[in-house]
A = this chain, B = another copy of it.
Amino acid sequence: MRRILVVLLLAAPVYAQNSLPSWNDTAPKKAIVAFVEKVTKEGSPDFVPVPERIATFDNDGTLWCEQPIYFQFAFAIDRVKALAPQHPEWKKQQPFAAVLSGDKEALLASGQKGLMQIMAVSHSGMSTEEFARIVGQWFATAQHARFNRPYMDLVYQPMLDLLAYLRANGFKTFIVSGGGVEFMRVFTDKTYGIPPEQIVGSSAVTKYQFTPNGKPELLREAKVLFIDDGPGKAEGINTFIGRRPIMAFGNSDGDQQMLEWTTAGNGARFALIVHHDDAEREWAYDRKSHIGRLDKAWDEAIAKGWTVVSMKEDWKTIFPATAQ
């Protein structure tokens, strides 16, 4: 009996000061801990019951890297290359020719239309199960060129600490990302400990149909159902989660409305922005970046007193030391 009790006690979450080991003891860590302590303390005027402890995280640039291109777009590029032998016509057809020859200027020149064509051939026309298999295979084999590591290793250790810390304090953690929900679900449970039903993202229309052997499947169509970015993040939180978060974490202008929506709720609220200012260990970019631009949201963070993390000053480490 005593042994059972010891096991039970050990299993209980015990979080001391050092619960965010990859964070320096600077202002952002202190602000996070102070907020969590006040909303979890019974009897505190800021106490929030467990079911309402909702925390939402952007993914690209907040939980993992997004440079030099969004990882999902790197997947799309690799997928075009993998499919090219079946499409000899692509050698002379933009935007595919640009992808195959590595011509970045021609690729950029193909614009939004070109992007949509690349996304269409890499993300639609197959069943949801087949898509998950293709993405899983890519994650198992592709490597990021700068770090020579699998993409799933390029997650931020301090944010992994934070996810664990919040969950140990009764929070339910969600991803609310502009990335494709079915792309993310392939790795988010294993990597972040966030289950598929807590991933909100952009989505394609799917079509229920039967395979020749009579099995139902969902065909991914080249048609957008929902874009979970900018104002879409507030809308997505409402439609998919149905509760307003009490904490929200982002890194770019695409997260501005999620942070506004979160902090506009009654009671204690917390908003945090990760500022990429560490060119040595990761990247440095903000107001003028094409990817993950942080401009208007930064101004609003300063005006409203949201917490801004300097990756350089506030994070002891960036990536997990060993493979996930």
Residues of A near any B CB (own CB < 8 A): 1, 4-5, 8, 51, 54, 128, 172, 174, 181-182, 185, 195-199, 203, 205-208, 215-216, 218, 225-226, 231-232, 234-235, 238-243, 257, 260-261, 264
Contacts of A206 in B (CB 8 A): 235, 238-239
Contact B5 A242, beta carbon cutoff 8 Å: no
Copies of the protein in its oligomer: 2
- Select which of B8, B51, B226 is within 8 A of A195 by beta carbon: B51
Interface centre among A1, A195, A242, A264 (most CB of B within 10 A): A242
Are A235 and B260 within 8 A (Cβ)?
A: no
Smallest Cβ distance from A196 to chain B, in angstroms?
3
Bound-complex Cα distance A235 to B217 (A): 10
Closest residue on chain B to residue A197 by CB atoms: B241
B197 near A238: Cβ-Cβ < 8 Å: no
Cα A263 to Cα B11 with chains together (Å): 36
Structural contact, B235 and A218, CB atoms closer than 8 A:
yes
**Which residue in B4, B207, B234, B240 is a CB contact (below 8 Å) of A216?**
B234
Residue on B with the closest CB to A242?
B196
Q: A206 CA to B225 CA in the complex, in Å? A: 14
Q: A127 to chain B: closest CB distance in Å? A: 10
CB distance from A166 to the nearest CB of B (A): 16
Asked if B197 and A242 sit within 8 Å, CB to CB, the answer is yes
Q: Which residues of B contact A257 (CB under 8 A)?
A: 208, 216
A216-B257, A257-B216 given; A238·B51 CB < 8 A: no
> Which B residues are CB-close (under 8 A) to A260?
216
Report the Cα distance A172→B174, complex, angstroms: 16
Write the nearest CB–CB distance from A132 to chain B, whole angstroms. Answer: 10
CA A260 to CA B8, docked complex, whole Å: 41
Contacts of A172 in B (CB 8 A): 197
The 4 closest A-B pairs by CB, nearest first: A196-B242, A208-B231, A197-B241, A208-B234
Known contacts A216-B264, A235-B206, A264-B216, A242 near B185 by CB under 8 Å: yes
A82 shortest CB reach to chain B, Å = 24
- The CA-CA distance from A231 to B257 in the complex, in Å, is 33
Query: What distance in Å separates the Cβ of A271 from its nearest Cβ neighbour in chain B?
Result: 13
Q: For A218, what are the chain B residues with a Cβ–Cβ distance below 8 Å?
A: 234-235, 238
